[in-house]
Structures are given as structure tokens and as C-alpha cells.
Amino acid sequence: MRFFSLLIFFLFLVSAVGVQAQSAENDGMFPNDVDRVRTRPSTSIREMIEKQRAAKRKKEHEEMLKRGEEALELVDQLNSSLETAGGFTNDDREKLDRLEKIASRIRKDLGGGSDGTDRFDAEEKPPADVRQGFNALKESTEKLVKELNRTTRYTISAAAIQTSNAVIKFARFLRIAP
């Protein structure tokens, strides 16, 4: 019995050595296959990936500019509503909520985050009334769109991030104002 298990072990060892020898022969026959596995993608693939990334960044920047224009349109609609009704309706408050979300998305796209400056601090004085708050919101939104138009898809504008924070603050103030 012992002889039989020793024989099986020996045959297993011989077959493993034979398989490894075959593998070494194949490595020599097809050197390009081995090199392809070990190297980086070819330059044409890398160029294609870079073109796709550039196209994606361009599309994201264009979408951000469209959001800025949408924010400006919402402010114009709110302005006409405020002029006719003298205050904000529930529909207008939904527009203010939408404006706040747009400004938050723009801030995120620019690389900014919520750092707790979305509300008025003790040092900052909130607007005295709805009209003053809306004028500040309108000015901030116009300034934000100007800043966005100056940016490229390769830049991060700290001024645009700060302005988007201001838009968010004023939109929240007006949304909860009586």
C-alpha cells in the first residue's frame, strides 16, 4: 500500500513538472501575448479614454452653465410674481426651493461643499424684509451666473462657490419668510 501511494505521488510530481515545462515553452513562442498582459494599454486606447474624459468634463460644464441660466430664469419669475402679488405664494416657495437646489448643485459641481455657511451667522445681518432679501437674492444670482460664465471646465472658482452660498442663504430666508 505504501509503495502504491509513493508511486502516485511520484507520477503527480512528474506531471506537474511536465506542465510547467510546457508553459515555459509557450511563453517563448508568443512573447507579445505575455508583454501585452504586463504593459499598459496602447497609446490609442489611452488617447480615446482621455478624449472621453474631456468630452465628459465639457458636457458637465455646459450643464452647470445651463443650471445657472435656469436659476436666473427662476429669479425673473419670482420677481414678476413679487411685483404683482406683493409677496410669495406656495408656488413661489417651490421655485425658491428649486433655486436653492440648483445653487447647491452648482456649488457641488464647482468643488465646494456645505460648510455650515448656508444660514446667516450671528455676525451677519439677515435682510430686514422680503423685498430687501429678494433684491439680495437677485444680485447674488446674477453675480453667480457672471462668475460661472468666466469659468472653464478646468477651473475652480472660489468666488462662484461663495456666491452660490449666498444664493442658498437668501433662498432659504425667503422660503421661510412670512
Per residue of the chain (178 residues), give pLDDT as tens.
Answer: 666 676 677 666 666 655 555 554 455 555 555 555 555 667 788 899 999 999 999 999 999 999 999 999 999 999 998 888 888 888 989 999 999 999 999 999 888 877 655 666 545 677 778 888 889 899 999 999 999 999 888 887 888 888 898 899 888 888 887 6
Whether 92 and 21 share a structural domain: no
pLDDT at 84: 87
Position 19 scores a pLDDT of 54
Q: In which domain, by residue range, is 169 found?
A: 54-176
Using alpha carbons, select from 160, 159, 175 the residue that is nearest to residue 99: 175
Residue at 89 is within a domain: yes
Spatial distance between the Cα atoms of 11 and 3, rounded to a whole number of angstroms: 12
pLDDT of residue 20: 56
How would DSSP label each residue in 116-145? Answer: STTS--SSSPPPSSHHHHHHHHHHHHHHHH
Is residue 165 a contact partner of residue 114, using CB atoms and an 8 Å limit?
Answer: no
Q: Report phi then psi at 149, rounded to 5.
A: -70, -25
DSSP 86: S
32 lies in the same domain as 72: no
- Residues 24 and 103 placed together within one structural domain of the fold: no
Which pLDDT belongs to residue 145? 92
64: Cβ contacts below 8 Å, ≥ 6 apart = 106, 109, 110, 148
